[in-house]
Amino acid sequence: MTYDCIIVGGGIAGLQAAIQLGRYMTHQILVIDSGHGRSTLCRNYHNILGWPEGVSGIELRKRGKAQAASTGVKFVQDKVIKAVRHGQLFKLTGEQGEHYEARTLLLATGLMDRFPDIPGILPAMGRSVYVCPDCDGVEIHDRKTVVMGSGNPGANMALLLAERASELIYINHEQKAVDAETLMEIKNRGIQYIEGGISRLLEEHDGMIQSVILEDGTVIPAERGFIAFGGNQVHSKLAEELGAKLYHNKHVEADARSRMTSVQNLWVAGDLGVHAEQVTVAMGDGAMAAISINKVLMKLGKAQETPL
């Protein structure tokens, strides 16, 4: 079947777009999602309107999916591995060889933070270990905090957070070089610097860490953590295949108002397109794209009805 719109990525941006598009009650919408994104990792978002106690990404996604499905939006679990333009249609291929096609396409495939598989890190994500200083800098206020990272990205994160924690330690887990000037600033600002591998995080309860254990057995007590390993992967491959323009950092360029890319009838939303990588920004972005997609679909619909 040819869908009016396919949304690739059923995270925060994709779901908000699906809810908005579904509510027009006139379009055939399909969301294709591979099931693993930043919103499946974060155990608690604290900075969202209406959720003062926080809400997990899994819970938001569960609710978002049910809300979109109630308007008739269809969902399929698959990973899209190929996207081509064929005339006026977008043709997609899933990893099991499934084919999908649509008149308009919204990519909301996000990005993924790079971090090593350190035991204890996943259950702490968003609960006591964070990635985004704008979202969670406040959580380390007056608390003993470790930045777990690699080379300069970790060092720069530590400098950003320096004034917030009661005590800050930067553990350069991958032991990559830090610029001499940055290292000097780290020391001048009273940040403890350790070069050494982390073997695991010890949890006190429910994702709240109590210490970081180094490979040499050293125990570093810590109440909170941040990660900054650098090398995050922006999922822009499909957009690139379709010829969309990318920024130097691999995010996809899009019109500020419509969120349409440089390719006609191809939109992006969420972390894939914006640099303020936050839930509420992804929601707004998804909604803006959906409003624009509806306008285009209305025009396409009318054009089809006009006799030649």
Ligand X SMILES: Cc1cc2nc3c(=O)[nH]c(=O)nc-3n(C[C@H](O)[C@H](O)[C@H](O)COP(=O)(O)OP(=O)(O)OC[C@H]3O[C@@H](n4cnc5c(N)ncnc54)[C@H](O)[C@@H]3O)c2cc1C
* DSSP per-residue letters across 172-216: ETT-----HHHHHHHHHTT-EEEES-EEEEEEEETTEEEEEEETT
18-57 burial code (b ≥16 CB/10 A, e <16): bbbbbbbeebbbbbbbbeebbbebbbbbbebeeeeeebbb
With CB under 6 A as the rule, give the number of residues binding ligand X.
Answer: 43
Q: Is 59 in the site for ligand X (CB under 6 A)?
A: no
Kindly indicate which of the ranges 18-26, 32-40, 169-177, 214-222 contains the residues binding ligand X, using the contact rule CB under 6 A. Answer: 32-40
Q: How many CB atoms lie within 10 A of CB 88?
A: 11
For residues 146 and 212, is the Cβ–Cβ distance under 8 A?
yes
Decide: is 102 part of the binding site for ligand X (CB under 6 A).
no
Closest CA to 82 of 93, 95, 98: 93
Query: Binding of ligand X at residue 225 (CB under 6 A)?
Result: no
Choice from 108, 198, 212, 268 touching ligand X (CB under 6 A): 108
Binding of ligand X at residue 209 (CB under 6 A)?
A: no
Strands 192-195 and 167-172, bridge-based pairing: parallel
Distance CA 177, CA 156 (A): 13
Q: How far is the CB of 110 from ligand X (least distance, A)?
A: 3
Which one of residues 6, 20, 37, 170 is an interface residue with ligand X (CB under 6 A)? 37
Please tell me the distance from the alpha carbon of residue 29 to that of residue 47, in angstroms, as a whole number.
30
Burial state string for 118-128 with b = 16 or more CB within 10 A and e = fewer than 16: bebbebbbbbb
Q: Determine the Cα–Cα distance for residues 61 and 56; give it in Å rounded to an integer.
A: 9
* Residue among 22, 64, 110, 153 that touches ligand X (CB under 6 A): 110
**Token representation of residue 225:** 């953590």
One-letter amino acid of 214: L
* Nearer residue to ligand X within complex by CB, 79 or 182: 79
Q: Which is nearer to ligand X, 123 or 196 (CB)?
A: 123
Smallest distance, ligand X to C-beta of residue 78, A: 6
Using the rule CB under 6 A, which residue among 24, 28, 47, 200 binds ligand X? 47
Per CB under 6 A, the list member of 151, 153, 154, 270 interacting with ligand X is 270
8 binds ligand X (CB under 6 A): yes
With contacts defined by CB under 6 A, name the span among 195-203, 211-219, 273-281, 292-300 that binds ligand X.
Answer: 273-281
Cα 118 to Cα 107: distance, rounded to the nearest angstrom: 31
Tell me the per-residue interface mask from 150 to 189 with ligand X, x by CB under 6 A, - otherwise: ----------------------------------------
Q: Choose, by CB under 6 A, the member of 3, 45, 229, 267 that binds ligand X.
A: 45
**Candidate residues 131, 158, 165, 191; the one interacting with ligand X per rule CB under 6 A:** 131
Is residue 284 near ligand X by the rule CB under 6 A? no
User: Helix 279-305 vs helix 12-22: angle between axes, to the nearest 10 degrees?
Assistant: 40
Q: How far is the CB of 291 from ligand X (least distance, A)?
A: 17
Q: Does 222 bind ligand X (CB under 6 A)?
A: no
The number of angstroms, rounded, from the C-alpha of 274 to the middle of its chain's C-alpha atoms is 10
Task: Work out which of 29, 55, 268, 282 binds ligand X, going by CB under 6 A.
Answer: 282
Q: Which residues bind ligand X (CB under 6 A)?
A: 8-14, 32-39, 41-42, 45-47, 57, 79-80, 108-110, 113, 125-126, 130-132, 135-136, 235, 270-272, 277-280, 282
